[in-house]
């Protein structure tokens, strides 16, 4: 059964059409990063568990910027799922499909989108009640045409996707033209090296450019 409450969380997270995907190394940068993204029109982020600082970053963002929608990315095990929830993250995503993690998230009523790349993975995710999946790695998997083919047999079930990996400001329009796309994952908006160097103005500029690109496709 699909949980409408978790659907509402993802609707809020995806309402801008772009979800910044973040790998941040120092929790001291959490608030400047959140402010830079929000100033650019994207008060939302998927903070990935690719660094040891991820849980602390999520905790600081949720505590100090309550209007900023924080999610967890690269949720690969139950420990990461627990850490994300304890840190206040409102949703989570993973690059692959692990039914153990999906079931745990569903049991907790926590919004979670597993990653899929094949019809078989999509079918399995759907059976567990997922209404949203990450499509990863989107570029390597074949781009919009590949997802169109994979998702077509499931279209009547209302499945939606967040393609990530190989998506950029110059091709996000190709994705967002598809009705099944909730948002695209944007790793280019706040790169690790830019966060490390404190290039907040550049991150704000990237966020604004992404928002404008979305508006051209979805006014």
Q: Is 134 a catalytic residue?
A: yes
Bridge-partner residues for 174, per DSSP?
A: none
The 10s digit of each residue's pLDDT in 115-146 is 999 999 999 999 999 999 999 999 999 999 99
Q: Is 128 exposed, middle or buried (0-12, 13-18, 19+ CB in 10 A)?
A: middle
Question: For residue 179, what are the domain limits?
Answer: 4-213
The answer to the question of residue 85 being in a domain is: yes
The answer to the question of residue 181 being in a domain is: yes
Q: Please pick, among 25, 39, 46, 145, the residue that the annotation labels catalytic.
A: 46
CATH of the domain at 12: 3.20.20.70
Q: Please pick, among 25, 121, 134, 193, the residue that the annotation labels catalytic.
A: 134
Per the confidence metrics, is the pTM higher than 0.85? yes
The answer to the question of residue 64 being in a domain is: yes
Averaged pLDDT, groups of 10, the chain, 219 residues long: 69 96 98 98 98 98 98 98 98 98 97 98 96 97 97 94 96 96 97 98 98 95
Structural domains counted in the chain: 1
Q: Is 64 a catalytic residue?
A: no
How many Cα atoms are found within 13 Å in the side-chain-facing hemisphere of 19? 30
The answer to the question of residue 11 being in a domain is: yes
């Amino acid at each position: 059964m699909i949980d409408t409450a978790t659907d509402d969380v993802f609707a809020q997270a995806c309402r801008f059409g772009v979800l910044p995907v973040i790998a941040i190394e120092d929790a001291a940068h959490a608030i400047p990063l959140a402010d830079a993204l929000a100033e650019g029109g994207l008060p939302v982020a998927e903070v990935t568990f690719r660094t040891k600082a991820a849980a602390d970053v999520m905790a600081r963002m949720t505590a100090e910027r309550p209007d900023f929608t924080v999610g967890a990315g690269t949720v690969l095990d139950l420990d990461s799922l627990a850490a994300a929830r304890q840190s206040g993250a409102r949703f989570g995503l993973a690059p692959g499909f692990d039914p153990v993690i999906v079931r745990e998230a569903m049991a907790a009523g926590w919004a979670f989108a597993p990653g899929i790349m094949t019809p078989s993975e999509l079918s399995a995710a759907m059976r567990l009640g997922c209404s949203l999946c990450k499509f990863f790695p989107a570029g390597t998997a074949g781009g919009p045409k590949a997802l169109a083919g994979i998702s077509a047999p499931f279209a009547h079930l209302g499945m939606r996707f967040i393609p990530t990996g190989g998506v950029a400001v110059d091709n996000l329009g190709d994705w967002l033209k598809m009705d099944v796309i909730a948002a695209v994952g944007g790793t280019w908006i706040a790169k690790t090296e830019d966060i490390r160097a404190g290039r907040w103005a550049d991150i704000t500029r990237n966020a604004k450019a992404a928002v404008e690109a979305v508006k051209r496709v979805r006014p």
